[in-house]
Structure 1
Amino acid sequence: MSDLFSFEQSWQKEVDRQLQARGERKGTFQTSSNIEVERLYTPEAMEEDYMKKIGYPGEYPFTRGIRHTMYRGRLWTMRQYAGFGSAKETNERFRYLLEQGQTGLSVAFDLPTQIGYDSDDPMALGEVGKVGVAIDSLEDMEVLFHEIPLDRVSTSMTINAPAAVLLAMYLVVAEKQGVPWEKVSGTIQNDILKEYIARGTHIYPPKPSMRLITDIFSFCSDHVPSFNTISISGYHIREAGATAVQELAFTLANAKAYVDAAIDVGLDVDRFAPRLAFFFNGHNYFFEEIAKFRAARRMWAKMMREEYGAKNPKSWQLRFHTQVAGSTLTAQQPDNNIVRVALQALAAVMGGTQSLHTNAKDEALGLPTEESARIALRTQQLIAHETGVADTIDPLAGSYYLETLTDQVEEKAHEYLAEIDSLGGAVAAVENGYMQREIQKSAYETQRNIESEEEIVVGVNKFAMEEEPEQDVLKVDDSFIAEQHEQLEHLRKNRSQNDVDHCLQALKEAANGHENLMPPIIEAVKKGCTVGEICHVLRSEFGEYV
């Protein structure tokens, strides 16, 4: 140890000499969460108990991963997010991506579907099929999954306020394919708290929204045991301007609120916790992102075992999907986005993600073209099969820097969690605007740093081009909208109006009472009720959140 101390002293003298001669690039170096980055990390950073802090993959506290063999046993699910225009067009894109080697589906719904309006509702004007696929009825859902076997393909659906309705449609499509619900796998996002915080596609106030979520937990525990009943999402919190630490802390605070709500309605924690999933952002600061993922697993494991008394090890495991950061993509020099996406995806893999979406290079300009979607998928395949990073588990473990940074991210996230707890939990923190204000401060700070060139965005505030070449972008053909309206009109004319009225009345009564809402929603879907009709019944009973 004395030799090491002596060597460090002589090394520091040389550092001082070089600093005097030419200095460093800037005065201080910080991560996106304002954690100061030291010039050098040494073995002194590794004095913590290895088994307590790091341990083995597949074992508590899961810092190194939730599976014993991780990617040596099975690669992450390559799940590209897709959806635009009609169900038929999106089905064609799904099947193309599956042919190209994608291993799971991820559905983007258009804005009217996300906020519970049918395509012919005046509120849907100008938005049908623009940012995702238009789904109005069971018929649309059947077309969306035409020739896609739901017992062999896992599907993630980015849907929140109307999650119960879209899940019901998905289950009925599986039933019509002859697939028992026990064999259906996938995820619904179903995370309403982050909608109030960062995204805005909410419908109902928090209390009835939480009821819908816990009804789904309960129903799926009994009937759809392989389906992830929620994807608790930090992704959109980060996209709104949060730091890595805020993303982690606010996501876990929301997760605690969902766990508390489920326990409050009488669910045993080990009955629903194994099907909770998470959704994180893969951002630019490479090592901090890896540290964030490792800290997240450790924090969740401790929280579930020590705070909630969960006994099932699966309840302690934080399973997560990652999407790389859309907010970092630039319309300027869009080819640069291929490099950004590759590095962000690599960080997610090094951090042990269970599934991954890589953005297309042109998403700052419009929806991905078929070519750019293919390049995004190939990026994952190249990482999986050509880099060797999936050949050993948690390859950066033991890095003096990474282990220190993992501890620092965890410590700072705990500080936020303590503050949120002091406010009464995540729901109270949302209602008084605490999380929203913290995100706004961080977003402002980031923008100020970019404008002052403290942070460099290649091709934007540095290394810009005077003239940008013309880019091909995908344009959604609006001609399908008339057909969508005609299909709705045909559906309403040919279904039994008595059955529809009966189902909607039964749903109204259930919403007024305490019974689980999933069975009446499933029955309404089967009888031809639309997304808008079901959501309007719930609006009339629950009100809207403003």
Structure 2
Amino acid sequence: MATSSERDERLTVAPIVGPDDPRHFTDSGIEIAPLYTAADVPDDLEERLGEPGSFPYTRGPHKDMYRKQFWTMRQYAGYASAKESNERYRYLLSRGGTGLSMAFDLPTQLGLDSDNPRCLGEVGRTGVAIDTIDDMRTAFDGIPLDQVSTSMTINAPATVLLCLYQLVGEEQGVPSEKLRGTTQNDVLKEYIARGNYIYPPEPTMRLTTDLFAYCKDNVPKWNTVSISGYHFREKGCSAVQEVAFTLSSGIAYVQAAVDAGLNVDDFAPRLAFFFNGHNNVFQEVAKFRAARRMWATIMRDRFGAQNPKSMMLRFHTQTGGVTLTAQQPVNNIVRVALQGFAAVCGGTQSLHTNGYDEALALPTEEAAKTALRTQQIIGFESGATDTVDPFAGSYFVEALTAEIESRAYDLIAKVDELGGSVNAIEFITAEIDESAWGYQERYRLEQDIVVGVNKFVEEELEVPDLLRVDPASEREQVERLKAFKANRDQALVEQRLEELRGAARGTDNLVPFIREALRDRASMGEVCAAMQDVFGKYQPKF
């Protein structure tokens, strides 16, 4: 591990100083002064701020922000079968949710059908199993797709899932031009933080840019990628690292699209971002403001974007899963409220608040409803929505915003020196690992306090009622899949899969071939396997 002085030099991780040191640090190593004055604020503050809805968007992407319209209130949901997930979606919408956030099980995230032997015991556990068009149809039964915005937390097989969603929309009579939502579609962070990848980086980037081009002409309101720092933070990175590595991924996707011949202003307005929300309200507000300013500058100066919408960093926030504690789980309601408040004060466009029981299991209906009510209380009762950018001008927050920006730019420069995010995977992973180790050391030494874990501990454990997935749901999903595969024109399916392999060997946009295979009843796993036949499977170097 790096020495303390080396960590101080990097300026992205808090030093390990122990509980008796009087200094206070954010997780990014920014030392917090006992008092902030006008002398701590950058001299060019007015230029840094600008006006809301105008470059550099520090104060928000829209002029009136929440005075005109609240953020989309999403709840990340999905488990067991498509039918059970549909019931949860309808429940959340009936309680005032304004958007859906679709959770997929691990087999779906890895592009595997539920009947694959590797999937035993995992089907429907961490999200919903989607193998076929029948599953997608069931998941959205009774939910008009022209009246809801759907976020899909799916990456390696993102194109496949969007095609299924598009086909179901057409069955409902909803033109693709009216579909609204987001596919996460950020596989770079899978190589670095999660491990749910299929193909090597080069064909993965091709699939991503193919989706950019396809949606521009066919699904114009769809956000084609949600460039994710959330998972970097879940793995243990600091706030500065989250900004730097997320924007570095964004740079890589934009460069790949430009290299593929796309005009930056044709696809950049549909790029979206996904950030984590942690407990330090002031650092989180500053983080969101710094990221917006940085992305606007990067898009204008580095990529020559002309369209103002190409420069707007629009983002979804999810409260920090890694901050939830299994001990005294009701305390998590307070943590989630603080994190959601910070996201709103920082100008998020979409928000998911975690259930208080998620350190133990998938959220119960009661926990999910409490999380949604938390958003509604922030929106209607906290005052955070009454004025635009409520922390603007705060000596403390403006100093933090400038410091995060400066340190994040330094870290982006290091990624650039290595050839960009695709070539810097090992460096980024090592940086996050160092930060994660620092978190644990600070907790262990009680330099950082987590209520109920290393201070104010109670001997008697609180275990709330938990959601338990019935093991029978896996068997039933596999049976449905077998029946689906038995009831189709197998020769036509094989023809479509071979056409997809041929396109993968060439340079045609792959999305129409994926869509046709799914329309003619190929399964999600079969489509992903056909491309893997050509592209191969990613093998990490470390």
Matches within 5 A, 1:254-403: 254-403=249-398
CA displacement at 1:275 relative to structure 2: 0.2
Query: 2:480 and 2:314 mapped to 1: Cα distance?
Result: 39
CA offsets, 1:275-330, max 9 Å, x none?
Answer: 00000000111111100000000000000011110000000000000000000100
- State which of 203, 208, 232 in structure 2 corresponds to 1:213: 208
Partner of 2:7: none
Of the three residues 44, 49, 54, the one matched with 1:59 is 54
Number of the residue aligned with 1:459: 452
Corresponding letter in the other structure for 2:171: K
Give the match's secondary structure for 1:372.
Answer: helix
Mapping of residues 80-479 of structure 1, within 5 Å:
80-430=75-425, 433-479=426-472
- One-letter amino acid of the counterpart of residue 159, structure 1: I
1:311 counterpart letter in structure 2: Q
Query: 1:133, 1:189 → 2: CA distance?
Result: 16
Per the TM alignment, residue 491 of structure 1 is displaced from its structure 2 partner at its CA by 1.1
Structure 2 CA distance for aligned equivalents of residues 302 and 241 of structure 1: 27
Moved more, 511-520 or 475-484: 475-484
The CA deviation at 1:482 is 2.0
Whole-angstrom distance in 1 between the partners of 2:416 and 2:72: 34
- More deviation, 479-488/179-188: 479-488
One-letter amino acid matched to 1:540 = D
What is the Cα deviation at residue 25 of structure 1? 7.6
Instruction: State the Cα deviation string for residues 198-221 of structure 1 (Å, max 9, x = none).
Output: 011000000000000000000001
| Partner SS, residue 317 of structure 2 | strand
Q: TM-score, normalised to structure 1's length?
A: 0.95
Alignment partner, residue 6 of structure 2:
none
Q: Which amino acid aligns with 2:449?
A: I
Per-residue deviation at 1:470? 3.3
Q: Note if contact 1:114-1:201 (Cα within 8 Å) is conserved in structure 2.
A: yes
Task: Work out whether residues 121 and 474 of structure 2, in 8 Å CA contact, stay in contact via their aligned partners in 1.
Answer: no
How far the C-alpha of 1:48 sits from its partner, in A, is 2.0
1:217-255 superposed Cα distances (whole Å, 9 cap, x missing partner): 000011110000000000000000000000000000000
The change in CA–CA distance for 1:47 and 1:489 in structure 2 (over 3 A counts) is: closer
Structure 2: unaligned runs, 5 residues or longer: 1-18
Q: Which has the larger radius of gyration?
A: 1
Deviations 1:421-477 (A, max 9, x none): 1111111101xx000000000000110110111110100010000111332110001
2:522 matched residue in structure 1: 529
d(CA) in 1 for partners of 2:432 and 2:45?
Answer: 34
Please tell me whether residue 40 in structure 1 is matched to residue 32 in structure 2. Answer: no
1:539 partnered with 2:532: yes
Contact 2:327 2:462 in 1 (8 A): no
What SS class does the counterpart of residue 54 from structure 2 fall into?
Answer: coil
Deviations 1:42-68 (A, max 9, x none): 112235224311111001000000000
CA distance in 1, matches of 2:470, 2:180: 32
Is contact 1:32-1:285 (8 Å) kept?
no
Matched, 1:503 2:504: no
The alignment status of 1:485 with 2:471, answered yes or no, reads no
* Counterpart amino acid of residue 333 in structure 2: I
* TM-aligned CA deviation for residue 389 of structure 1: 1.1
**What are the superposed Cα offsets for residues 95-117 of structure 1, whole Å, 9 maximum, x if unpaired?**
00000000000000000000011
Deviations 1:385-440 (A, max 9, x none): 0111101000110001100100000000001001011111111101xx00000000
Q: Which moved more, 1:455-464 or 1:42-51?
A: 42-51
Residues 389 and 395 in structure 1, CA contact (< 8 A), matched pair in contact too: yes
DSSP 3-state at the match of 1:156: strand
Q: Matched residue of 1:540: which SS?
A: helix
Question: Is residue 68 of structure 1 aligned with residue 63 of structure 2?
Answer: yes
Amino acid corresponding to residue 396 of structure 2 in structure 1:
Y
CA distance in 1, matches of 2:275, 2:371: 18
Alignment-mate amino acid for residue 367 of structure 2: S
User: Do the aligned partners of 2:329 and 2:462 also contact (CA within 8 Å) in 1?
Assistant: no
Give, in whole Å, the separation in 2 of the partners of 1:117 and 1:443: 31
> SS at the partner of 1:232?
strand
Shift of 1:27: 1.5
How far the C-alpha of 1:154 sits from its partner, in A, is: 0.4
What is the rounded CA distance, in whole Å, between the counterparts of 2:390 and 2:279 in structure 1? 19
Q: Could you tell which deviates more after superposition, 70-79 or 462-471?
A: 462-471
Q: Find out whether 1:515 has 2:508 as its counterpart.
A: yes
Name the CA distance, whole Å, in 1 between partners of 2:488 and 2:511: 21
Corresponding residue SS for 1:427:
coil
Q: CA deviation at 1:26?
A: 4.3
Q: Distance in 1 between the 2:485 and 2:285 partners?
A: 51
Between stretches 173-182 and 462-471, larger displacement belongs to 462-471
Contact 2:79 2:104 in 1 (8 A): yes
| Residue correspondences, number | 521
Range moving further from structure 2, 307-316 or 462-471 = 462-471
Which segments of structure 1 move beyond 3 Å, counting only runs of 4 or more?
none
The SS at the match of 1:426 is coil
**d(CA) in 2 for partners of 1:293 and 1:470?**
35
Q: Extract unaligned runs of 5+ from structure 1.
A: 1-23
Q: Per-residue CA shift, 1:138-163, capped at 9, x if unaligned?
A: 00000000010111100000000000
Match of 2:487 among 494, 507, 528: 494
TM superposition shift of 1:483? 1.8
- Map Cα deviations across residues 324-358 of structure 1 (whole Å, 9 max, x no partner): 00001000000000000000100000000000000
Between the aligned partners of 2:182 and 2:278, the Cα distance in structure 1 is 22
- In structure 1, distance between residues paired with 2:49 and 2:251: 23
Q: State the shift of 1:481 in Å.
A: 1.9
Identity within the alignment, %: 58
Give the secondary-structure state (helix, strand or coil) at the position aligned to 2:276: strand
- Matched position secondary structure for 1:71: helix
Do 1:204 and 1:545's aligned partners in 2 also have CA atoms closer than 8 Å? yes
